[in-house]
Each structure stands twice: as structure tokens, then as C-alpha cells.
Structure 1
Amino acid sequence: MSSADLIIRPVTPADHDAIWSILEPVIRDGATYPLDPALDRAGAFEYWFAPDKTVFVAELDGAVLGTYYLKPNSTGLADHVANAGYMTHPAARGKGVASAMAHDSFARAKNAGYRAMQFNLVIATNEQAVRLWQRLGLQVIGRLPEAFRHRRLGYVDAFVMYKKL
């Protein structure tokens, strides 16, 4: 697979089953997202499709391999900084899907007038994600001690990461 062949587009209702097949294993794993591992589909969709988020999917040959949302990180006088969340289907990890979605989100954020991207809770033990975000220009600007209850490791640190667009 070439990430250049990925189509990244706004979500449609027809994508919901594919999105659940991506969200569910990540949520159940309890290692990278602050969502209750017992969360059901309705609760997960309430989070992923919250009114302040615009949701996209990454698709290859009609198969949805990843999804991300883009939103303001804050409100009012701080609404010029974006925030995003990304999930990749377990079978598509390590194949450039997250990187392609990140590049797409940075471009969309910049085109929408955002001046920076901030990730508020990058789990420090998620080394693959930390390396990816650093490779794409995000910097660790803060460490939150024991901010995340990892399902297997217990309390672990999280990073705040930031990139000017």
C-alpha cells in the first residue's frame, strides 16, 4: 500500500460500521485513548462525532483504514489552535495511514485559519505515536505526570505536543 493512494475525505453515515471497527479495538485496549474500555458504540460515537468536531476517513480501494477528527483546541481568544485525534485500523498500522491523516489534518487546519496544532494527551508509553508526531514536527512542550491510567501498566505520563502551522 502506498499512502499516496489513500483518499482522505469527510465521513458519511455509510462509514459508521467501518469507523466502529477502528474505534472499538483502540478503546478496548485502554492504552492510548482516555476513553473507558467498556464504552459502547453509542458512547464512542458521541465522543468521536461531538458537535465541535469534523470527522474524516482514510480509505484505500473502498476500505476505510483510518479516521480522524479536527476541532478547535479551545474557545474564544484561543480558538486559533487546532486539536485532532487519530485512529488507524489494527490491520493497517505501520503502513503510513496515520502519517497521511496527520499531513491532511495539518493542511486542513491551516486552510481553516488555525495557526497551530496541539495534542493535549499523547500517552508517553505510546512510543510509536510519539516518534511519528516528532517526525512530523510536533514538539513535546509539557509532561503530565501519571495523567493516564493505562489498562496494563497503571499510571503513566502523558505529553502535550505542539506544532506551529
Structure 2
Amino acid sequence: MSALKLIIIRHCRTLETDARIVQGQGWPVRLSLKGKEQAKVLAVLLRQEQFEAVYSSDLGRAVETAKIIMRERERPDIVFDSRLREQCFGVYEGGPLITMIRRMRRMKVGPIDFNPQMGESAVDFHSRVNNFLGEIKAKHFGKAIVLITHTNVINIILDKYSRQVLKR
């Protein structure tokens, strides 16, 4: 393998996802029963995959997903990294998702360019995720790794690497 292979997993379903509640960083969120079942299915799907490392956000919903997925594997150990956390959505956390969506529409920005009031700026969020990506790319180049993270982190990764592919 000549490039870094990323197996990217979004944490599994939560009650807040179903209720359309903004989760972010400060809201204590756990997997729903459906989410736990999803993680068990992922564990089965990943049995045949060979990977050198597993990195997970240190937020509860990602931690639960990672532990269920890796429960029956001896190696590799899960590395919990705060740089894989979802963006902090400040005043919107714990509130209805539609409120934040309406605000983004008024500001004419998408999720990865949003600067939530009392939250993490888009610049800081991108910097945090890109710092992590640079580190793992150097450390695991030519290998496969698993990332267990959140929607907007995944959006940044896809945006970054799809642009690189298009430039070639």
C-alpha cells in the first residue's frame, strides 16, 4: 500500500440524533439501543479488515462505538484523541438542530464553516482536525487505520482529501 488508508466510522446512533438535538462536545450523549446494535454490526464487518491502529474521539458516543467494535479484537488498542471531537457548538448544544440550521442559513455558511456563538470557531476546528491528520499521515503512511469520530470531522476529512484528489 503506497498511501494511508482511512477506514472512517461515524459514531453510531444516539437518542439525541433521533430527537434532532445538537450534540457537540458539552452534551453528555450515549448510544441508543439501535446505536449499540449498529456498532455490533460494524464489529462483524471489520473482522476481515487488517489495520495498524484505531483512533477515536474521546466523547462518550464515539468511545462506546469504539469499545463495542473492538471488544473481540486483541489488537490494536484504541487511542482516544480529543482532536477527533465534534466541533463545540456553544449555545446551540442540547438545543434543537433546526435552530442551528436556521442560523447557518441566515449566515449563508455550511456546517464546516460555521462559527457558533460561544463555541469553537471554524478556523480552530479545521486546525485541530488537520493537525491530527498530518500527524497520523506521517506516523502510519502506507498502512490502514480506523478513525471513529463525528459528522463534521468526517466532512473536513472528505473535503480536504477530495480537493487533493481533484488537484492531481
Which structure is higher in helix share?
Answer: 2
Which structure is higher in strand share?
Answer: 1
Normalising by structure 1, what TM-score? 0.32
Normalising by structure 2, what TM-score? 0.31
